[in-house]
Structure 1
Amino acid sequence: MANHIIKFEHVSKSYQNKTVVDDISLTIDQGEFITILGTSGSGKTTTLKMLNRLIEPTKGSILFDGKDIAKLDAVALRRQIGYVVQQIGLFPHLTVADNIATVPKLLGWDKERIRQRTSELLSLVKLPEETYAKRYPSKLSGGQQQRIGVARALAADPNVMLFDEPFGAIDAITRADLQEELLTIHHRLNDKTFIFITHDFYEAFRLGTRVLIMDEGKIVQFAKPKEIIQNPASPFVNKLIETAKNQEDIWRFVHD
């Protein structure tokens, strides 16, 4: 029987007279890789931030491992949920190792446990400890910084990882490499649940075991990539697919 790690029950978020998330309900199972796809203003980032209580819903409830997050301590909740953003936000005055160790130190881990975890994570993101542990963020490329951001978010061994367009500011070649590495990491950590926001159709369908498509604050389809392509549930979803196909046709035409 599937373990529902996350459940949204009729969740809405409004600011004054504007509703940005409109009565959404969904269930995510442990170990899934969910991508959230939508245009700017579709409500995807608000949905993600409600999960770790950076934003509080106006209506409805969100369950994390069966518990209503509104009744949990917000700081303690966030320490159970890894969070990676486009801006990365590494501390420039700390080494790579100390950046990764941020949350374990807050949790009171001993030095040896922190050292072992840091070494393990640097290996996982393919940045060898002997080369990178003592470097500072300014000495890393954008792709390397994003890898450290992922390692830092994984440091306290959270059950859920949130990614808010983490590869949006990275060049296309590096982005493709990071996508492949993230899939590998998820495969190795097969009990971890990844939730990944993107506005890129190909990224969403390459990474997601299921794709959540949002438009104007509503869920318009939530299914496996193949099912969405074969059976688009709305004109908006169909337009997304047709736009992606047209872009591919143009690319083929230019290079034929």
Structure 2
Amino acid sequence: MTEKTIIEFKQVSKIYNGKAAVDCIDLAIQEGEFITILGTSGSGKTTTLKMINRLIEPSSGKIFFNDRELSALDAVALRRSIGYVVQQIGLFPHMTVFDNIATVPKLLGWDKDRVDQAVRSHLDLVQLPYNEYGQRYPNELSGGQQQRVGVARALAADPNLMLFDEPFGAIDAITRNDLQDELLRIYKKLGDKTFIFITHDIYEAFKLGTRVVIMDEGKICQFDQPEKIIRQPQTEFVEKLIATAKQQGRMWEGNHD
């Protein structure tokens, strides 16, 4: 099967107050990939993500979505065609779980039966049965359940592209691990969706990503499959990142007993 590029950055930069948050990057993401973007605070990873749905506009260079330049697309229509999940979740507190998930399908003018089917099927997908959770409000859910609703809401209008901006960063370690497993299950079950996921956690990035983008100071240091990055780090920064992760792993192994 021929690979199809869904997102492409060509010489893209974003400048704030004379300093490059993103510095002349080239990046091509293929349809159906699970891409994780890894970097420390200030590395440019979130700026890169937000340029994809035009929450931030590039200072120079071009970004393409399905071979069409982003700047030529209607920004509102673009955002409605892309799923977006953030750390703060952003569920509407005065709306039920059902109505939260139904938000974008309703904005797109779907009929009542189609909206109802989308909500029910996506609650099933994130393993929150409709009969138990559909009429609850966000404050009646745990943090992990709220994040599952956030994923269901982002998927409800059947987007080809999903963006995740550190969605599990504020969640406890056990729930975070469970949500990572759940997201991988959803990705594999859907089969044809492209996921782009921002994180500062190397274990999360390498666990989830079919390929990993490593960023530092606005530049892409390496973009490859996790196992290849581990075997052949291309820059001093990546070498240090891998060495630190291995050292932490040895610490856990050494204290296992």
TM-score (norm 1): 0.99
Secondary structure of the residue aligned to 1:255 is coil
Match of 2:211 in 1: 210
Deviation at 1:255, TM superposition (A): 2.2
Query: What is the 5 A alignment of 1:127-206?
Result: 127-206=128-207
Matches of 2:126 and 2:190, distance apart in 1: 12
Deviation at 1:183, TM superposition (A): 0.4
Match of 2:113 in 1: 112
Structure 1, 193-202 or 242-251: larger mean CA deviation: 242-251
Secondary structure of the residue aligned to 1:63 is strand
Deviation at 1:253, TM superposition (A): 1.9
Deviation at 1:100, TM superposition (A): 0.0
Deviation at 1:249, TM superposition (A): 1.2
Q: Deviations over 1:186-232 (max 9, x none)?
A: 01111100000000010000000000000000000000001000000
Letter of the 1:34 counterpart:
I
CA RMSD, aligned part only? Answer: 0.6
Query: What is the 5 A alignment of 1:1-256?
Result: 1-256=2-257
Q: Deviations over 1:165-197 (max 9, x none)?
A: 000011111111100110010011111000000
Secondary structure of the residue aligned to 1:109 is coil
Secondary structure of the residue aligned to 2:128 is coil
Matches of 2:75 and 2:117, distance apart in 1: 28
Deviation at 1:17, TM superposition (A): 1.0
Matches of 1:147 and 1:214, distance apart in 2: 28
Deviation at 1:254, TM superposition (A): 2.1
TM-score (norm 2): 0.99
Deviation at 1:154, TM superposition (A): 0.5
Letter of the 1:63 counterpart:
F
Percent identical across equivalent pairs?
Answer: 69
Matches of 1:182 and 1:50, distance apart in 2: 23
Matches of 1:92 and 1:39, distance apart in 2: 31
Letter of the 2:196 counterpart:
I
Secondary structure of the residue aligned to 1:244 is helix
Matches of 1:118 and 1:80, distance apart in 2: 17
Matches of 1:114 and 1:51, distance apart in 2: 26
Secondary structure of the residue aligned to 1:89 is coil
Secondary structure of the residue aligned to 1:12 is strand
How many corresponding residue pairs? 256
Letter of the 1:179 counterpart:
Q
After TM superposition, the runs of 4+ consecutive aligned structure 1 residues lying more than 4 A away are: none
Matches of 2:191 and 2:6, distance apart in 1: 14
Structure 1, gaps ≥5 residues long: none
Matches of 2:135 and 2:233, distance apart in 1: 49
